[in-house]
Structure 1
Amino acid sequence: MIKKFFKNIGPGPLVAAAFIGPGTVTVCTLAGVNFGYALLWAMVLSIIATIVLQEMAARLGVVSQKGLSEIIRQEIRNPFVKGFALFLIISAIVVGNAAYEAGNISGGALGMETLFGNSSLDIGSFNLRMMPLIIGCIAFMFLYIGNYKVLERFLVGLVILMSLAFLITALITKPDVIGILKGVFVPSFPNKSILTIIGLIGTTVVPYNLFLHASLAKTKWKDESDLKYARKDTIIAVILGGVVSMCIIVSASAIPEQDISNASDLAKGLEPLFGVNAKYFLAIGLFAAGVTSAITAPLAAAFVASGCLGWETNLRSLRFRMVWMFILGLGVLFSTIGFKSIEIIKFAQVANGLLLPIIAIFLLWVMNKSSVLGNYKNSRLQNIFGIIIIIISVFLGTKGILSVFNII
């Protein structure tokens, strides 16, 4: 029974691994520290929205046997619109993932440094941190193997480790169950919480995951009869990812409000209250979150670039490898020397803010095309959910762009 369960695990855990990166851990930490359990309902909303969109992406991949960027190239007929769409996608996903990769690697390195201490190497005027190099080597090794099953099993193992680490951390803090249930089922908007609510949704409903899911689903499943497995895989994995995010919020809620800005601070804050074990479990979770995102971000960028440019999407093809090596290499370099290019990250945020509603609209449009999906096109209920999510994504995208330019 367990063997059959693991056999039917698909790309769902990889998608969950992709959205629970160091950025999500930080946003959830701030939500818990500043607002306690009050914003848990926003995570529930995020989980529902993510399930709806990711199920569409997986169904598209399984039925059409094409990635989302390949479908965009195929279905948009107007050359100007197609050119703009492909430029925006490559800019947002490839440049964006390169910008965020340093954060993914730095997050994993923070977890390792909490466990093993900080080690660095002085070369001239440069101080090179060693942990990001180790994270980079781990990511490089598993990506270079180019075997989907090996990659899948490694990431599933890390997701399980991450889930257990954050769950145990939350249990150590002896949470108030009634307070958690109230936070989950009773929406509230505490003072100055709106940006945090948007942040919780924005770090869960991620544009590049839609591309990653469609591409991996067609790699895993080849027949329409497998859709039931794809659906179950998506629902279980996204719910698991949402529970992990909630555990981080619950853990952070146990800390009296103080100067905490990331998960490393949270680890230090938990130690005097709940003992050294809390710090170690949180560090393991942060390490796993960083490594999984450090692998999935370059992988998604390679799938997107290959689909947009009409290249082969084989994990072992030279062009495919060149893309993820470029993303991973930049991430390791920026993280090792401690370089933070605010302008690149701002550009990525603007591009992603534009991309999420555009891709959500395109996805909904293509999911209603009989020529692509036949009998597996969207039902009326799926379209209603899709429209609601598009409205949310437009709101999120607008907020993201305005916040970059300090308008809000």
Structure 2
Amino acid sequence: MPRTAAATPRLATLLGPAFVAAVAYVDPGNVAANLTAGARYGYLLLWVLVAANAMAILVQYLSAKLGVVTGRSLPELLGERLRTPSRRAFWMQAEVMAVATDVAEVIGGAIALHLLFGLPLFVGGLITGVVSMVILSVHSRRGQRTFEFVVVSLLAIITVGFLCGLLFTGIAPGDAAAGLVPRFQGTDTVLLAASMLGATVMPHAIYLHSALSRGRHGKVEPGPRLDRVMRATRWDVAGGLFVAGSVNIGMLLLAASALRDTPGTDTIEGAHAAISDALGPAVAMVFAIGLLASGLASTAVGSAAGAEIMAGLLHIRVRPFIRRVVVMIPALILLAVGVDPTFALVLSQVVLSMCIPFAVIPLVRMTADARVMGDRRNAPIVTAAAWLTAGLIIVLNVALVWLTVTGAA
């Protein structure tokens, strides 16, 4: 009997979930950290982004594999295994993470609208929240494939917006190569490195990716189809994280080559002004458009992650519109009272850093457990690499929290 297209889908048609998760890796928090690192220290911390992207590829692949093999998301599996008090406590920290994620992303969108149109930050944040509701409605009304198309389109805009400046500046190849050698220059570079890593491995992306893979493929039984889906998943994760990694590295290269030692580049608004002065207003406008796409896409993805976390841990599904309104309130309050947006971004990254272990540790344990994964459990070398990755992430994020709280940097 001939194989049908439905029975043997083309590899390209299986791609998509990782590109949605990759949006979390190019959110406004990443923009602030990468531009600051490049403007202050040139190519010194380039190695951090390369290492962080390698870690992200491993972690996101494990999340996707968990969803495909078990037919469950990470929040669902945790919800099934935790007792009620532990499950509710786990949800509370995850909900704090979701709010912190939304703060960074709504503020990023607000800053972009302020740069493009001069809108007050509060109005820009409100518009960002409303547009993200429209994007989320695509998921509920048109399904995951259409949602993936919309988010990946925004990812394309982000890529162009943040990388186009490289066409108008010269990169020093020798200095860039030297930046691949791990080293620091004082406490401030340790803080920046921890911030860059913390902004790369985002906990909500770990929760969501397992759900996206489950939603796209369902539970795939052992056999040729599982082999094909896992092969597609590896390509999906490699492709999505390659794009996100290229954008992050490109931002640091842009700042190192065009903004080095320029005053005011420790804020997104200052970096935008410096880009305009160094490369022209057209490049600065494209950068602001990329920032707007980053805020819109990442806040929609963050809201989808929050909904999945609530459904998995509390067994409650809330309409996206209601959840979107409730979760964006803290960000709007911060904008309304005039809190410095850069400070709010830094604070949100600290909160996210504290939540990373709650996502990474259960992920590594479950994907290494034969009772959960069957013969698709991690190979010993993969488990060792995953625990090493988890340990490095946790140690650097503890350093980030400590240095931020004590003001040692």
Which region of structure 1 is more displaced relative to structure 2, 234-243 or 356-365? 356-365
Corresponding residue to 1:143 among 130, 136, 142: 136
Map of 1:23 onto structure 2: 29
Which region of structure 1 is more displaced relative to structure 2, 377-386 or 325-334? 325-334
Corresponding residue to 2:229 among 222, 226, 229: 226
Assess if the C-alpha contact under 8 Å between 2:101 and 2:352 holds in 1.
no
TM-score when scaled to structure 1?
0.86
In structure 2, the CA distance between the partners of 1:281 and 1:404, relative to structure 1 (3 Å rule), is same
State the distance in 2 between where 1:40 and 1:354 align: 24
Corresponding residue to 1:188 among 177, 183, 186: 183
Amino acid at match of 2:85: G
Percentage of pairs with the same residue: 22
3-state SS, counterpart of residue 366 of structure 1: helix
Q: Does 1:36 align with 2:42?
A: yes
State the distance in 2 between where 1:163 and 1:5 align: 24
Map of 2:327 onto structure 1: 327
Amino acid at match of 1:204: T
Corresponding residue to 2:51 among 45, 49, 67: 45
Corresponding residue to 1:14 among 20, 24, 29: 20
Map of 1:99 onto structure 2: 100
Which region of structure 1 is more displaced relative to structure 2, 328-337 or 288-297? 328-337
In structure 2, the CA distance between the partners of 1:342 and 1:305, relative to structure 1 (3 Å rule), is farther
Map of 1:125 onto structure 2: none
Map of 2:172 onto structure 1: 176
Map of 1:134 onto structure 2: 127
Map of 1:83 onto structure 2: 85
Assess if the C-alpha contact under 8 Å between 2:74 and 2:207 holds in 1.
yes
Map of 1:361 onto structure 2: 361
Assess if the C-alpha contact under 8 Å between 2:350 and 2:401 holds in 1.
yes
Corresponding residue to 1:239 among 237, 242, 267: 242
Which region of structure 1 is more displaced relative to structure 2, 319-328 or 279-288? 319-328
Map of 1:306 onto structure 2: 311
State the distance in 1 between where 2:347 and 2:276 align: 37
Which region of structure 1 is more displaced relative to structure 2, 242-251 or 338-347? 338-347
Residues 215-294 of structure 1 aligned to structure 2 (within 5 Å):
215-222=211-218, 223=220, 224=226, 225-253=228-256, 254-257=258-261, 258-294=263-299
Which region of structure 1 is more displaced relative to structure 2, 214-223 or 142-151? 142-151
Assess if the C-alpha contact under 8 Å between 1:57 and 1:211 holds in 2.
yes
CA deviations 1:161-204 (Å, max 9, x no partner) are: 111121211222222233223323x2221233111111111100
Q: How far off its partner does 1:57 sit? A: 0.6
Assess if the C-alpha contact under 8 Å between 2:267 and 2:342 holds in 1.
no
State the distance in 2 between where 1:320 and 1:31 align: 36
Map of 1:393 onto structure 2: 393
Map of 1:157 onto structure 2: 153
Assess if the C-alpha contact under 8 Å between 1:100 and 1:345 holds in 2.
no
Residues 107-118 of structure 1 aligned to structure 2 (within 5 Å):
107-116=108-117, 118=118
Q: How far off its partner does 1:337 sit? A: 5.8
3-state SS, counterpart of residue 193 of structure 1: helix
Give structure 2 stretches of 5+ with no counterpart: 1-8, 221-225
Assess if the C-alpha contact under 8 Å between 1:139 and 1:291 holds in 2.
yes
State the distance in 1 between where 2:371 and 2:135 align: 37
Assess if the C-alpha contact under 8 Å between 2:197 and 2:393 holds in 1.
no
Map of 1:54 onto structure 2: 60
Aligned residues: 387
Assess if the C-alpha contact under 8 Å between 2:106 and 2:299 holds in 1.
yes
State the distance in 2 between where 1:347 and 1:193 align: 18
Which region of structure 1 is more displaced relative to structure 2, 359-368 or 244-253? 359-368
Q: Does 1:377 align with 2:373?
A: no
State the distance in 2 between where 1:208 and 1:395 align: 19
Assess if the C-alpha contact under 8 Å between 1:95 and 1:348 holds in 2.
no
Amino acid at match of 1:96: M
Assess if the C-alpha contact under 8 Å between 2:126 and 2:332 holds in 1.
yes
State the distance in 2 between where 1:345 and 1:247 align: 21
CA deviations 1:109-136 (Å, max 9, x no partner) are: 32233223x135xxxxxxx743222222
In structure 2, the CA distance between the partners of 1:322 and 1:64, relative to structure 1 (3 Å rule), is farther
Assess if the C-alpha contact under 8 Å between 1:33 and 1:260 holds in 2.
yes
Map of 1:124 onto structure 2: none
Map of 2:4 onto structure 1: none
Give structure 1 stretches of 5+ with no counterpart: 121-127, 313-317
CA deviations 1:350-369 (Å, max 9, x no partner) are: 66444322432221211122
State the distance in 2 between where 1:37 and 1:187 align: 11
Q: How far off its partner does 1:244 sit? A: 0.3
State the distance in 1 between where 2:11 and 2:184 align: 40
Q: How far off its partner does 1:217 sit? A: 0.8
